[in-house]
Amino acid sequence: MAEKAENVKCLIIGSGPAGYTAAIYASRADLKPVMYTGLEPGGQLTTTTEVDNFPGYPEGIDGPALMMDLQKQAERFGTQVRMGMVTKVELSKEHGGVHKAIVDDKHEIHAESIIIATGATAKYLGLPSEQRLRGGGVSACAVCDGFFYKGQDVAIVGGGDTAAEEATYLANICSKVTMLVRKGEMRASKAMQHRVNSTKNLEVRYYTEIEEVLGDQVVEGIRVFNNETGEKEVIPVTGLFIAIGHKPNTEIFKGQLTMDETGYIQTDGKSTKTNVPGVFASGDVQDKVYRQAITAAGTGCMAALDAERYLAAVESKEEVEA
């Protein structure tokens, strides 16, 4: 006999600052939210050793501890936090329609509203030494972690606008920034290239790739090679920032939700509303500009409020029709 579908008022897909903040607000509004954490409970912050820029923690806090605090707060108000991965969705286009979600390819949920907080995954080079030193000097967010390398020499990988912007940001606080560009030119806009070239303590190396990140516990340097000449060199740095892009985790929503050309979910104006009634997107899954824990938390709050108002409107219409 097939398992009976579970009915929920508010389904939150994904954890992290956006998901947990949405859960806090949704549970306080008596929406009885059910959250599925996904493959990486707590999101990207669980790979961050220190978080110094999240309000309310004057001494700073490590990423996993911050996410545990948010989870406990959500659970205190009644959120059901479940381990599991939503593997398929069937979204209703009707106002007041029921959305279907399949968890781990077996458990079916019927949701009156859905808050998407699946985030985006930073792209890395894929080197074993790079992965080993994530949190030990390798970072994908200069704005988040650059402060820890104040007055030190660092390197950044990438040639687009994000890389250029983060490189100039780092140059304001670090002694020297070495920017590694795989090709013979940058993809960044002319204005950003001009900013990079005008920054005195920022050196751009073209046709340059990383062979290995050096260091046992923390980054001590990088071994690079010129992909035209094959020449190798060791550059002493204490921090390595990867800025080659992010991939929004939106695969299961493709063909059902409106997205931009890179897969980020598009929302209506300043709201978190998607093109499907009762489905809301928050955090990095719809934000490719700021990508901060606090901005993600803010949109999580907005998504819960949008969901609450949507469900209230659906219920009042049903009462009138009854």
CATH 3.50.50.60 domain span(s) along the chain: 6-121+246-321, 124-242
The mean pLDDT of 13-41, rounded to a whole number, is: 93
Residues listed for the chain: 322
How does pLDDT run across 180-191, given as a tens digit for each residue? 999 999 999 999
Active site residues: 141, 144-145
Q: Rounded to a whole number, what is the distance in angstroms from the first to the last CA of the chain?
A: 34
**pLDDT exceeds cutoff 60 at 285:** yes
Rounded to 5°, the CA angle 308-313-317 comes to 150
Q: Which pLDDT score, from 0 to 100, does residue 227 have?
A: 96
Of residues 39 and 270, the one with the higher pLDDT is: 270
The mean pLDDT of 184-201, rounded to a whole number, is: 94
Rounded-to-integer distance, Cα 148 and Cα 143, Å:
10
CATH superfamily entry for domain 124-242: FAD/NAD(P)-binding domain (3.50.50.60)
Least confidently predicted of 44-58, 130-144, 285-299: 44-58
The mean pLDDT of 253-275, rounded to a whole number, is: 96
Mean pLDDT of the chain: 93
CATH superfamily entry for domain 6-121+246-321: FAD/NAD(P)-binding domain (3.50.50.60)
Q: How far is CA 95 from CA 117, 161, 236, in A?
A: 21, 39, 58
Q: Which pLDDT score, from 0 to 100, does residue 296 have?
A: 95
Residues 6+ apart with CB under 8 A from 237: 152, 153, 154, 155, 178, 219, 221, 222
Rounded-to-integer distance, Cα 119 and Cα 244, Å:
17
